[in-house]
Structure 1
Amino acid sequence: MDTWEWIPETPARWDDRKQRVLDGLDPALFGLGRPAAGDALGDEWWRVDDGAGETVAYGRLDDSWGDAEILVLVRPDAQRTGVGSFVLARLEAEAGRRGLNYIYNVVPHDHPDPEQVTGWLAAHGFVRNDVGELRKQVRVAVTPD
């Protein structure tokens, strides 16, 4: 396993690192609008750097009404390394510490690989509800592996 560092970004701002992780995908696809460099981003963000100090992933948590929408972004060349699961476990742990009920994600229709993302979330315990959200009940005080 690589050595990954979980780094809070407070306040979060749009920057070149996020753009590189998206690898040409439109930020609006993920509900981020079309931010310019330095623009403030809503919600809470964490960055994942590898052992060489390169940013390989991001996690975002938007909590409201006892649940939290999450976003996991992984740089294409870091996919299938386990870093996405690392991000997901930490987002779930954060939701558990806050006493939230569910974490959820909505895979955009325009996503370049919606079946792969939906399958990955399902493999991590997410279940699709009748409005298209993929939801997972949060365990209280979850500690990531």
Structure 2
Amino acid sequence: MTWHWVAEQDPRWDQEKAAALGDLPPTLFGLGHPEVGRPLGDTWWRVEDDTGAALGYGRLDDTWGDAEILIVTAPDRRGSGVGAFVLENLEREAAARQLNYVYNVVPTRHPEGDAVRTWLTDRGFDATEVGELRKRVASGAAPGGS
């Protein structure tokens, strides 16, 4: 089955995003207490399979030449490569915007924070003195998408 990287033209909170977070509250990721249909800031994409089912999401919040990223994988898809697919595409999107770094701050209350930090470190992220995990963006990468 093929996965598709789909830009959300008017990103809004919906049941699919809530389901992808599983038991993790949106407040953990700075999303507040969103209501269905509420507009979301930043730039969002979703990963869909050939049936149109949402497998995960990526968010890029770019400011000052860098971008904070959020990677969300549906609970039943964790460990299947969806997260790596999201990360690869977020890196390409950041490079296309000529950004310097992508970074993530794993919330201290994240129930699997150590595993997430290890996962990011294994993919080339380095810890900074302010608690970010940061990775230099490869220049010249073209954005993916469908």
TM-score (norm 1): 0.95
The one-letter code of the counterpart of 2:26 is: P
Given that 2:93 and 2:143 are in contact with CA atoms closer than 8 Å, whether structure 1 keeps it comes out as no
Residues 1:67 and 2:69 aligned together = no
Partner of 1:93: 92
Instruction: Show structure 2 runs of 5+ residues with no match.
Output: none
Given that 2:96 and 2:142 are in contact with CA atoms closer than 8 Å, whether structure 1 keeps it comes out as no
Residues 1:17 and 2:16 aligned together = yes
Structure 1 outlier segments of 4+, above 3 Å: none
How far apart in 1 are the matches of 2:142 and 2:78?
23
Residue aligned with 2:116, SS = helix
Given that 2:96 and 2:143 are in contact with CA atoms closer than 8 Å, whether structure 1 keeps it comes out as no
Partner of 2:27: 28
Residues 1:46 and 2:45 aligned together = yes
Partner of 2:127: 128
Residues 1:107 and 2:106 aligned together = yes
Partner of 2:4: 5
Residue aligned with 2:103, SS = strand
Residue aligned with 2:7, SS = strand
The one-letter code of the counterpart of 1:65 is: W
TM-score (norm 2): 0.95
1:59-106 deviation digits (Å, cap 9, x = unpaired): 000000000000000011101111111100000001101110000000
Aligned-residue identity in percent: 53
Partner of 1:84: 83
